Amino acid sequence: MPLPPLSSIRCFEAAARHQSFTRAAEELGMTQAAVSYQIKLLEERFGPLFLRRPRGVALTEAGRRLAPAVTDAFAALRDAFEDLGHAAEGVLVISVVNTFASNWLAPRLGGFQITHPAIAVRLDVTGRLVDFAREEVDVGIRSGIGPWPGLTAHRLQPVAYTPMLSPRLLERAGPLDSPADLLKLPLIDPQDFWWTDWFTAAGVDPSGLPYRPDLRVGTQHLGAGVAMAGQGVAILSPLLFREEIASGRLVQPFPLIHGSGESYWLVYPEARRRSPKIRAFRDWLLDAVAASGD
């Protein structure tokens, strides 16, 4: 036998618990007439469940047999959804681009977990745009111009870049008097549009870049590693390599830092903006960005 409509079962459970159609209606946000109608649908299938009396209602014998089972079923459902909610709120999955993850976010994440010890963090490091509708990801940190349909977006930091190299390579190369002198050195990822934009902003013709020997690594994180090994000049974002610059492992030979108009953004589905774990991470991350001065 198929189950009756869930709306009718809900009305029966509340009315049986309160011994009142009126109080059941108040709990469920319905009218008393609507509750009475839903219970009538049950009684048309299963016979009388309530005795209507001048001062209220009382369960019939059939109603008394049914009520405990229905109450237990709703309690089990509430417990199941509560457990699911706790589990879902206990793990925060962050999709984030590689270099931002390793050079900016990871060194600071301990502060988030100290203030929110009940939330475990899992980083999904990827360069692609995550599909929130198809993947188990809570928030993303991506670069771009924004906005994105269906997503709440918070601007974090501008994306800006400049050439960097190791002190060892700089010593071998001799003084770099102008940006054009960089063309005498091996460039890492010379076909990256950041190089084209930076040289153009510096007043240097970038048309020969596509024909240079292609030392391709694909990410800032790997490019910085190759540069620190003295193998070439990388185009990097200074805000992500402050420690390497401060320690002398990387040198910024020219003051020009060029931006493409893109920024790093925190994004998440608009429908999930009230999730406690997402709000906690959003507030912490925005505070951390403000405190970093970037």
CA distance 150 to 136: 16
Tell me if domain 90-159+262-292 and domain 161-259 are identical in fold: yes
Residue type at position 222: L
Task: Look at domain 161-259 and name its CATH class.
Answer: alpha beta
Residue 84 pLDDT class (50, 70, 90 cuts): low
Domain extent listing, the chain: 6-88, 90-159+262-292, 161-259
Residue 88 pLDDT class (50, 70, 90 cuts): very low
**pLDDT of res. 83:** 57
Residue 178, pLDDT above cutoff 90: yes
Residue 276, pLDDT above cutoff 70: yes
In this structure, of 54-58, 211-215, 240-244, the range with the lowest mean pLDDT score is 211-215
Q: Mean per-residue pLDDT for 58-73?
A: 91
> Nearest CA to 144 among 158, 126, 132, 124?
158
**pLDDT of res. 294:** 61
Contact 225, 231 (CB under 8 A): no
Burial (CB < 10 A; 0-12, 13-18, 19+), residue 223, is: buried
Domain 6-88 has CATH 1.10.10.10: yes
Determine if the pTM surpasses 0.85: no
Fold of 90-159+262-292: D-Maltodextrin-Binding Protein; domain 2 (3.40.190)
**pLDDT of res. 82:** 61
Upper half-sphere CA count for residue 34 (Cβ side, 13 Å): 13
Contacts of 205 (CB under 8 A, 6+ apart): 199
> Nearest CA to 37 among 53, 24, 55, 56?
24
Residue 86, pLDDT above cutoff 60: no
pLDDT digits (tens, 9 = 90+) for 10-60: 999 999 999 999 999 999 999 999 999 999 999 999 999 999 888 889 999
Q: What is the mean pLDDT of the chain?
A: 89
